[in-house]
Structure 1
Amino acid sequence: MDAVSAIIEPLCANSVSGSMQDVVEPISSHALPNVPGKRVTIVRVFYGPGGFTPAHRHAGSVTAYVTKGEIRSQLAGGPVETFGVGQSFFEPPGSTHLVSANASLTEPAELIAVFVADEGAQLTTLVK
């Protein structure tokens, strides 16, 4: 499984939300030549109105940047926070991301996620 599929396949299990409007789109994935064994992968996450991703965790660090609408986010042990266009948030490796959702039931939302993880890592794992 390539790096992008390692993110997209688990997140596309998002049909749990009942929304076919939730999409994870790969942008790029490259080995980091100055950091042997690491890879940076960038994806666009589009949430339709009321869309969400089930609870999950990532093998590496993730920085997310909101490009449209508002995103609700909560890491285990932290509060639910809402981020708007131009704001970003960070997920440490292995942290459980309990809430990742569009804050609106009527408007779409979108974010860009940048993953830095070990080469070949399963980047996204759903939490059961």
Structure 2
Amino acid sequence: MGNDEPTAGGAGSRPRSEAWKTALTVLQSATPPFVPEGAEVMTVLVEFPPGDPGTPPHRHSGPAFGYVLEGEMLFELEGEPERVIRAGETFWEPGGDVIHYQDGNNRTDSWSRFLVTMLCAPGQPMLTLVDDEELARRQHLRAPRA
């Protein structure tokens, strides 16, 4: 049998790696309230310069799961107090009707970069801004601010 012929154990005569048994670390586990039927899944990289307030209040048509790569994000969902999420930490939001108030860079001296994987309802945008009139109507649903 030559070196380029497969063996019973896989490609070539290399031993199988055992690293996969300890290579996985669960960073986040969540059960979203819904996944839109026929959802499109996309992963995006978001990068905000120092001190940037981020995306205006908005919502997503489906759940979103994120991981902060660098810096700090000031994160606030409707009904939850604002909190800081740092590099190496995860976040998620249910999507649907819930307003995402803040995702801005919490630092004035460095960039904030985070990955987000979103499940978007078919035919709907991944992000819809919330207007001032709706924010005023739903003010009672926002957690008290520090």
TM-score by length of 2: 0.61
Aligned length: 94
State the partner residue of 1:38: 39
Amino acid in structure 2 at the alignment position of 1:91: E
Cα distance in 1 for residues equivalent to 2:66 and 2:37:
23
State the partner residue of 2:28: none
Instruction: List structure 1 runs of 4+ shifted beyond 6 angstroms.
Output: none
State the partner residue of 1:50: 51
Cα distance in 1 for residues equivalent to 2:108 and 2:58:
22
Superposition deviation, residue 65 in structure 1? 0.6
Superposition deviation, residue 36 in structure 1? 6.3
2:103 counterpart (82, 85, 100): 100
Cα distance in 2 for residues equivalent to 1:86 and 1:113:
13
Cα distance in 2 for residues equivalent to 1:92 and 1:47:
23
Cα distance in 2 for residues equivalent to 1:118 and 1:58:
9
Unpaired runs of 5+ residues, structure 1, are 1-34
What is the aligned-residue RMSD (CA, Å)? 1.4
Identity of aligned residues (%): 32
Higher strand share: 1
Superposition deviation, residue 71 in structure 1? 0.6
1:88 counterpart (76, 87, 90): 90
State the partner residue of 1:72: 74
Q: Deviations over 1:10-65 (max 9, x none)?
A: xxxxxxxxxxxxxxxxxxxxxxxxx9612110100000011111111000100111
State the partner residue of 2:130: 127
Amino acid in structure 1 at the alignment position of 2:38: G
TM-score by length of 1: 0.69
